[in-house]
Every structure is written in C-alpha cells, then in structure tokens.
C-alpha cells in the first residue's frame, strides 16, 4: 500500500524553530568516579512537539544521557536546562508492583503525592483509557501480557501530564509484533499530548518511524555525530516502514552509526 508523500511532510522549519526548548543541553560531559568518561561535549535541544530518538552503540552513554536529563545524576561539565513542570521516565522494564492492580499501579504516584482518592481515580482511569486498557483496570500485572504491562507503565508516566517525557528503550524487551503496535500507540499518544520526548533505542527503524529527529551517538565516550531530521507528519501509517523513502533514511542513520564507531 502506498502512502501519499505530500500528506507525510511536516510543518515548515520556521514554525518548529519558534518553539521554546523544554530540554536544552550544552557541552554536557559526564565522567564517573571510576574514571569512566561516558559522555563528552553533548549538545541537544528538545521542544514541545518534538520526539527525538537517540541511537548509538552499546555502552556509549545513552542511559547516562537520560539520567542527566531527568536530574537523577549530575553533569561533570556543561549545562542542562529543563523547562518542564513535570518530567516522566519510562524504563525498559515496566517495573510494576505485582500486588497492585493496573489501576492501583497507575495511581501510585498520585497516592504518594496525597492527591485525593476520587481525583487520582479519575486521572488513572483517563491514562489507562489513553493507552487502550479500559476494562483491564482490576487486573494484576501477572494477568497481563508483556505489551499490556508496558501500557500500564506508559499510563503511569502519563498521569503526571509530563511536559518532558524520557524513554529508556521502553519496547526493547517486547516481541516484534507487540513492539510495532506499541510504536503506533506511542505516536498516537504523542500526537494527543504534544510533550517533548527523548527516546533511547537500539533499533534504527524504531527511531526513524517514531521520531522527528534522530541523534546518532559515537562509541564511548559518547558524543553526537549526526542529527538527522525525519520529515514525515504524524500519524505515520505502519506501511511507511516498507517504503523506499523510509529505507533511505534508515540507511542514512545506519551509515552515521557505523561512521561513529570507527
């Protein structure tokens, strides 16, 4: 099935340039106390309505980059500015509490923050609806498939209405079919919520399919060796993945990855 190229092209660059950045990193370096230099001179910018993927070889510092963006760890050099009232973090493992239902897992953060019961129920119900889990609120994690568990984890991150959403390879542990479905789901949620997203992945095709920019990192110490714009509007139909234009862009990202390895 063919996709009309004209409908896929994104808004003009000047509209994009007018948006203030939600995450701004300038010359960021990270050296651990062990002496490992994980990142060197990383600069990047993510604005509301950007879904930016980061690909790079194993151990190049992708998770470190995300931890720095979230404030879980401190930079050794350079600066990070975050203009976000709420930041969310989705990990590769759904990290759900097995003794709490899907609904109760999603409510957890609001519960800890002291949000009144009726309000946190409403927020959790809405978030579960957003990820397509209406009807599964009372199920426990062990009663859910891997994809559904990941949806609960996504719902939990969305309850906070994040301005900045950080994803550390959230679909890496899923089977291929579920992974492709989750990519389509995330796009749908992203279109509705328009957060600023930073998405770590090992999959070049996932990065190209999901993002409006792909940052390619070199081997450790990680630095950004390419910043590749992905020109298609959302929603992107799944069959886009089988088109020549898509193959050309994944080829460009892969070539930058290989170049950064040398």
Q: Is 64 in the site for ligand ATP (CB under 6 A)?
A: yes
Footprint of ligand ATP on 20-49 (CB under 6 A): 32, 34, 36, 38
How many Cβ atoms sit within 10 Å of the Cβ of residue 134? 11
Would you say 69 or 82 has its CB closer to ligand ATP? 69
Considering only 42-50, 56-64, 121-129, 145-153, which stretch makes contact with ligand ATP by CB under 6 A? 56-64
Q: Between 66 and 106, whose beta carbon lies closer to ligand ATP?
A: 66
Q: How far is the CB of 199 from ligand ATP (least distance, A)?
A: 13
Closest CA to 186 of 158, 213, 214: 158
What separation in angstroms does the CA of 241 have from each of 119, 210, 232, 238? 40, 11, 12, 6
Classify 176 as helix, strand or coil: helix
Judged by CB under 6 A, the stretch of 51-59, 116-124, 127-135, 208-216 that binds ligand ATP is: 51-59
Q: Smallest distance from the beta carbon of 81 to ligand ATP, in angstroms? A: 21
CB neighbour list of residue 179: distance below 8 Å, 6 or more residues apart: 171, 206
Site string for ligand ATP, 137-156 (x = CB under 6 A): --------------------
Q: For residue 132, with 0-12 CB atoms within 10 Å meaning exposed, 13-18 middle and 19 or more buried, which class applies?
A: middle
Q: Of 185-244, which residues contact ligand ATP (CB under 6 A)? A: 220
| Separation of alpha carbons 161 and 182, rounded Å | 19
Say whether residue 59 binds ligand ATP (CB under 6 A).
yes
């Amino acid at each position: 099935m063919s996709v009309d190229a004209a409908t896929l092209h994104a808004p003009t660059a000047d509209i994009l340039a007018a948006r203030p950045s939600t995450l701004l990193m300038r010359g960021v370096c990270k050296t651990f106390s062990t002496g490992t230099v994980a990142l060197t001179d990383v600069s990047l910018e993510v604005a509301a309505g950007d879904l930016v993927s980061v690909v790079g070889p194993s151990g190049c510092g992708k998770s470190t980059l995300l931890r720095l963006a979230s404030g879980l760890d401190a930079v050794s050099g350079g600066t990070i500015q975050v203009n976000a009232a709420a930041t969310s973090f989705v990990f590769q493992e759904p990290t759900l509490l097995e003794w709490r239902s899907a609904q109760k897992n999603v409510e957890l953060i609001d519960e800890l923050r002291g949000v009144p019961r009726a309000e946190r129920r409403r927020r959790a119900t809405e978030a579960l609806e957003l990820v397509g889990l209406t009807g599964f609120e009372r199920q426990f994690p062990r009663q859910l498939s891997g994809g559904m568990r990941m949806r609960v984890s996504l719902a939990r991150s969305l309850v906070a209405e994040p301005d900045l959403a950080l994803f550390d390879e959230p679909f890496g542990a899923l089977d291929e079919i579920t992974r492709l479905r989750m990519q389509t789901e995330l796009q749908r949620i992203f279109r509705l919520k328009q957060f600023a997203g930073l998405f770590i992945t090992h999959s070049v095709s996932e990065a190209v399919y999901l993002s409006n920019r792909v940052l390619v990192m070199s081997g450790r110490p990680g630095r950004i060796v390419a910043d590749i714009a992905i020109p298609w509007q959302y929603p992107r139909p799944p069959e886009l993945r089988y088109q020549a234009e898509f193959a050309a862009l994944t080829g460009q990202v892969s070539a930058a990855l290989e170049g950064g390895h040398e």
